[in-house]
Amino acid sequence: MIEQSSLSSNNLERNVLCERSLYLRGDDDTAQPNKQQQHTTTTTTNTISADRVSVINKDSGSRKGLHCFPLIKLGKNRSKGGQHSVGRLEKRKRFKLTHFFTNLWWPFNGTNRIEDDGIVEGDTVDKMAFLPCKICNARLQPYSFTPGRFSLFQLDTITDKPLPRSGHRIVSTNQYIYSFGGFNPDAPREHSLAPLLQELWRFCKLTQTWTLLNTRGSPPRELVSHCQLLLSDRTLLVFGGSGFPFGSRSSNKLYTCDLVNLQWNLITPTNIDSEDLPNEGYGQGMVLDRENDCIYVCGGTNGYDYNLDVHRFDLISRKWTKLASTPSFIESRYRLELGLWNQKLFIIGGGTSNSSFPLDQIPVFDIETRTWSLEMSHAYVDPKLNSQNYPGPRYSHDCDQIDDSIYMVGGTNENNTIFNDLWRLHLPTLQWYKYGTHMTKPRYFHAVSISPEGELSTFGGVTTIQTKVRGTQTATKPETSENPQKQSKPKRMKKFSIYRWDPEQPGMKPKMQTYDVDLNACGPMILDALIKIKNEVDPTLTFRRSCREGICGSCAMNIEGTNTLACTARISTDSSTCQIVPLPHMYVVKDLVPDLTLFYEQYRTIQPYLQRKDGVELGKRQNLQSIKDRETLDGLYECILCACCSTSCPSYWWNSDKYLGPAALMQAYRWVIDSRDQATEERLEKLKDPFSLFRCHTIMNCSKTCPKHLNPGRAIAELKKLASGVQSKPQPDLSN
């Protein structure tokens, strides 16, 4: 039996939880494991010996009502109809006491009864199903699991393991779990795309060790809320996803990774110029149709607009087909999950930034007729309370499908509730079943996968909500579905010294005002403290804020002497006073609000838009780029115009009326270097005066303070080379 434990870090859970779904029955009202008998299985890589095989009498239960995973193969043959071949034994051959070596499971029958005395001599094979034998070896710590329960892998002593993460995806084979992508706001700078994690990890279930796979080729750069599945035991497929800031860059590309040769490849559709291609986005649902060699993609968002479009990609012809647009009577959504049964797609949950959708009605798309419908599902009946229940509305949950059932774990909703429950939806009847087992911690933005043998694993995710910010958590104390109220803790008071000035009070001089905040009743970010002060202490406090996700740049200010974003800056838990002032050397509108009129005017002068000289009206056709040319824009376009870099630059302080500043110049370089832009000479000519560009003295404050970890100093240096003629703009790889 594996002991449950917590291995959380910075609100991100990196524990791998595993469940063997031995007791999942489609016709069982309680749908819970047999509590009278628990079995634990262990396996080793060395010599093994079996000491027992348990037997179940099948006469009293119908195999027809079972909706089980393909959990065991004692022989090599197994049919969908439920008739299993057991070794070399004939179906009606009388059975003698025999030991079998297996680390797999045989499906449980409909009676939930276990014979304690082993195999009954004389029984026929067609009346039996087998639980696994116990296998042990003292020379190696065995891989073990508990059927029908979530169990934590004990990874405390492992040093080589993934960082905590969310927004990633996992897939499972019988031996391994593969995790790709994810987000961690505290990822070290050595991660090239930090806070995104461009990593492919493999977890070996037998040795309980993680391995970071050194892949080749060009892996996806959109690493959060992508779609991922296994085409085979050696081929990983990845589609879509978001870069960071979320929604600033998203993808509609398909990648494969050979899990043996560790080679990434970009799949180029044969109809790449067709309007049938999905829009760039993230948070889509994706499902594999093995019988027809295709995948289906549905829903998603680009960060602003949501959809429920349905697309099909043929894996043989490599062609996209748009099957349907968003229906008028079903809400668009992202972070949904897809099920496939009888040529119908089933939409499980999903939501938007401020809503989640109920699960009593299931949106269903008929692939053959290409029509949408809303189907009523059937509630789970709790036999103890004699009540009917549906799963709560949710998104950022995860699901996986075995045969005609889809299993749903965790998630969250707009009411700040995090779920740790496990549900099954039987797709032919749309009947919900709830299991008594649950994850050790509620979580969302986690990843779930079921192996071919029926082992459900979940990895990572966010375990505290604090007003659900994608990547950084802000605001109020979380609720969970299991434990909404906790005992109060002793207060942890923190002092905040905040700049105050009100132009509507002429006699008032600028001053620093101190506020006390209990950190136990506040989120972990500076913006949380400011909101708490404004809501509960001083409603006159004025500051800008909008997305609370590090995307809009509204909450830029100087915190503890550094220009940064209040929504991504963590509150220091030491006893020192936290000082917060507006961005330096800017006119102040009020309190922490600077006047950015000049800053935006300078940005306008660089003409931040594509300019062409071929006479083709913009928007009439696609302007193509090679992958190499596209990658030159990485680290440039992610700028959110927060002004942190410009207001940290001494040259900008002294000459802000003439010198454009780091933010505007980095964006100028972004458009100059764009292979699709044809106004390079004109753009550079405007920068050749002594001040606009060349007033930069390479102090590098801009690169040090950038909250998005960009490098304006390097961009300005490259722009100087182009403007002075030392370097020329490379010719585009693709001509338009």
Note the pLDDT tens digit of each residue in 655-706: 999 999 999 999 999 999 999 999 999 999 999 999 999 999 999 999 999 9
| Higher pLDDT among residues 382 and 87, named by residue | 382
Q: What is the dihedral of CA 249, 252, 253, 257, to 10 degrees?
A: 90
Q: Is the pLDDT of residue 606 over 90?
A: yes
Q: Where in the chain do CATH 2.120.10.80 domains reside?
A: 146-480
Q: Is the pLDDT of residue 483 over 50?
A: no
State the pLDDT confidence band at 507, using cuts at 50, 70 and 90: confident
Instruction: Write down the pLDDT at residue 440.
Output: 83
Instruction: Write down the pLDDT at residue 155.
Output: 65
User: Contact 621/227 with Cβ under 8 angstroms?
Assistant: no
| Higher pLDDT among residues 693 and 59, named by residue | 693
CA distance 547 to 469: 9
CA distance 527 to 524: 9
Q: Which residues pair with 17 in a beta bridge?
A: 152, 458
CATH architecture of 597-724: Orthogonal Bundle (1.10)
CATH architecture of 146-480: 6 Propeller (2.120)
CATH class of segment(s) 493-594: alpha beta
Distances (CA, A) of 581 to 483, 578, 592, 645: 39, 10, 6, 16
CA distance 648 to 630: 30
Q: Is the pLDDT of residue 109 over 80?
A: no
The amino acid at 260: V
State the pLDDT confidence band at 142, using cuts at 50, 70 and 90: very low
CA distance 558 to 116: 69
Q: Give the angle subtended at the CA of 688 by the CAs of 685 and 690, to the nearest 5°.
A: 160
CA distance 452 to 416: 34
Q: Where in the chain do CATH 3.10.20.30 domains reside?
A: 493-594
Nearest CA to 266 among 251, 254, 283?
254
Instruction: Write down the pLDDT at residue 130.
Output: 36
Instruction: Judge residue 679's burial from the number of C-beta atoms within 10 Å of its C-beta, 0-12 exposed, 13-18 middle, 19 or more buried.
Output: middle
Backbone torsions φ then ψ of 48, nearest 5 degrees: -120, 155
Q: pTM of the predicted model, to two decimals?
A: 0.54
Instruction: State the DSSP H helix or E strand holding residue 536, giving kind and residue range, or none if neither.
Output: helix 526-536
Q: Where in the chain do CATH 1.10.1060.10 domains reside?
A: 597-724
Q: Is the pLDDT of residue 613 over 70?
A: yes
CA distance 562 to 705: 7
Instruction: Judge residue 614's burial from the number of C-beta atoms within 10 Å of its C-beta, 0-12 exposed, 13-18 middle, 19 or more buried.
Output: exposed
Residue 402: HSE in the Cβ half-sphere, 13 Å Cα cutoff: 25
CA distance 176 to 202: 6
CA distance 731 to 736: 12
Longest distance between any two alpha carbons in the chain, whole Å: 101
